[in-house]
């Protein structure tokens, strides 16, 4: 069950359960990876795949070897969906640690899930191990029509 977090501009902001977050995450396909780098935080778009099972959720992505992403350790990963016409949307945030996949683990992950990077040369496999998964959904207020539809019948 979702908890109503508050009202925003007439709509309602709900806190999503972890199960609901896991249901929504595969719908996005592209997320944003945030991490500290030098003097300022960096946020980069990445395509990803989810690996759900024992020991839990993992987010798998590929990066350019030697790139800025490879040096990240503590990360935030965010995916969302928006319905701009109805002023509704959702957002899921995964906070965790980023590690490398190589050797025997790479062969195992490659068979189970491949994020198929949209950009050539992304051969470094990375995995996010979550420490927290949270989400929010904004629901638009119900619209009350000023004119009764029956007037047109």
- Which residue's structure tokens are 């929504």? 24
More confident: 140 or 153: 140
Distance of CA 61 to the CA centre of its chain: 12
Q: Which two tokens stand for residue 74?
A: 């503590």
Q: What is the pLDDT of residues 62-74, one digit of tens each?
A: 888 888 888 899 9
Q: What is the pLDDT of residue 3?
A: 58
Confidence at residue 1, expressed as pLDDT on a 0 to 100 scale? 47
Q: How far is CA 2 from CA 65, 135, 147, in A?
A: 40, 10, 33
Task: Please state, rounded to an integer, the average pLDDT across all residues of the chain.
Answer: 80
Summarize pLDDT for 53-107 with one digit per residue, the tens: 767 788 988 888 888 888 899 999 999 999 888 788 999 999 999 988 776 565 5
Q: What are phi and psi of 12, to 5 degrees?
A: -120, 135
**Residue-range domains of the chain with CATH:** 3-132 (2.30.110.10)
Model-level pTM?
Answer: 0.77
């Amino acid at each position: 069950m979702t908890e109503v977090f508050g009202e925003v501009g007439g709509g309602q902001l709900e806190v999503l359960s972890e199960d609901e977050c896991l249901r929504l995450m595969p719908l996005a396909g592209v997320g944003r990876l945030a991490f500290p780098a030098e003097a300022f935080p960096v946020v980069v778009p990445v395509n990803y795949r989810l690996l759900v099972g024992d020991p839990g959720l993992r987010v798998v992505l590929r990066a350019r070897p030697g790139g800025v992403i490879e040096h990240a350790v503590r990360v935030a990963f965010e995916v969302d969906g928006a319905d701009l016409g109805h002023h509704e949307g959702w957002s899921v945030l995964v906070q965790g640690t980023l590690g490398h996949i190589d050797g025997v683990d790479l062969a195992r992950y490659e068979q189970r899930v491949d994020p198929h990077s949209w950009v050539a040369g992304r051969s470094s496999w990375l995995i996010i191990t979550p420490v927290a998964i949270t989400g929010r959904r904004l629901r638009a207020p119900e619209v009350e029509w000023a004119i009764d539809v029956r007037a047109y019948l």
